[in-house]
Amino acid sequence: MRIVMLCVPVFVLAACAGSRVPAMRGTTQPIAHFGSNPEFSEALKQVEAPNEAQRLLANGDKLFAAREYEQALDVYKQAATAAKAESNNQVLVEALSQVARMYSIATEFEEGRVWLTKAEAYADPDEPLGWSRFLGVQGRLFWQDEKDNEKAKATFIEMYEYCGEQNLYSRQLDAAHMVALVAPPEEQVQWALNAIQAAEKAGEKGWLAVLWNNLGWTYEEQGNYEKMLDALINARKFHHEVGNDHSKLVADFGVGRAYWRNGQLAEAREWLEAAFATAKQRHAEDPEDLEKGEWVGWGNIYLADILFDEGNPEEALKLFREGRPYIIKAGIENWWPEELKRLDDKYAKLEATDE
């Protein structure tokens, strides 16, 4: 499965540290507000806590959920300092772990490792909030930094089982979601469905948007286009319930793309033309925003693919040429080089014919 971070958002680092892909594929963080973020739902209990360390940790989590990563980094460091002064081991482990994660989001993995080692020195399985947070960050570093999916998978499964035993169901959901991202293709669907089931029970609409989204793109990679369409329609439903304008737009693009994969070109054109018009309008309002420009690029390219299938290669090539500079400027060579190569190879044949 391809990953971002909307690297999510990243992560949109895109939200997470890692490669980014269109239509929020591989998103590792929910798109909704802090209160519906299952990764940190348990931390909400600390918002009104009397001591400084817990208050700072909760504030850092709010900033993280809002994708204000640089500010979150500073606040997590403050939380760690306060926790050490207060001898609050649980908050210390959580804060140190999150500092490591902020550095990993910025792809400063070496520095992230330094801070995670500090967290490990205090991490204790008898302190569920600290231990579960540590495991979540450790697994992500195995995955994003070491590129070791097996170690990451084992860590996330450990976290999944541990959180279930400790009744930390929101963090158990996060663990299941991460297993679905790092597991071999034959295991991804089942773990994604496990996570969806947990999210449904918890009423986590922000994560349901992300989980159905990622499952849809997994189905695409497996060639199961009917299920891809169903999954991305479900993703769109939740994105439109709890997402922002950008996530709603990207979800609309996803549905259009799924119709195209199913050979339903009229439906695909209807969805993609509507999304493309919105993308162009938003880009015109903020032409310096690379992410908004990126979706002008994908709009051109997705519509080019429809034209190609309709037997209109000249117009398809024209749209591809218009769209490619946008995705190059957005950095596709860094986060999805294999897709850029596939597109270039496909349209190079048309260019040769055109010449």
In the predicted model, is pLDDT for residue 1 greater than 50? no
Question: Are 338 and 17 a contacting pair, CB within 8 Å?
Answer: no
34-183 folds as 1.25.40
In the predicted model, is pLDDT for residue 218 greater than 80? yes
Q: What band does 50 get if pLDDT is binned at 50, 70 and 90?
A: low
- Whether CATH 3.90.550.10 fits 205-355: no
Residue spans per domain, the chain? 34-183, 205-355
- Identify the pLDDT of residue 11: 25
How far apart CA 326 and CA 353 sit, in angstroms, is 24
- Average pLDDT over the chain reads 87
The pTM of this model reads 0.74
Question: Are 33 and 49 a contacting pair, CB within 8 Å?
Answer: no
As given in the structure block, the two tokens for residue 310 are: 């309709």
Q: What band does 23 get if pLDDT is binned at 50, 70 and 90?
A: very low
In the predicted model, is pLDDT for residue 15 greater than 80? no
Question: Are 44 and 96 a contacting pair, CB within 8 Å?
Answer: no
Place of tokens 């190059």: 328
- Identify the pLDDT of residue 325: 97
Establish whether domains 34-183 and 205-355 are of one fold.
yes
In the predicted model, is pLDDT for residue 12 greater than 60? no
Average pLDDT over residues 134-153: 96
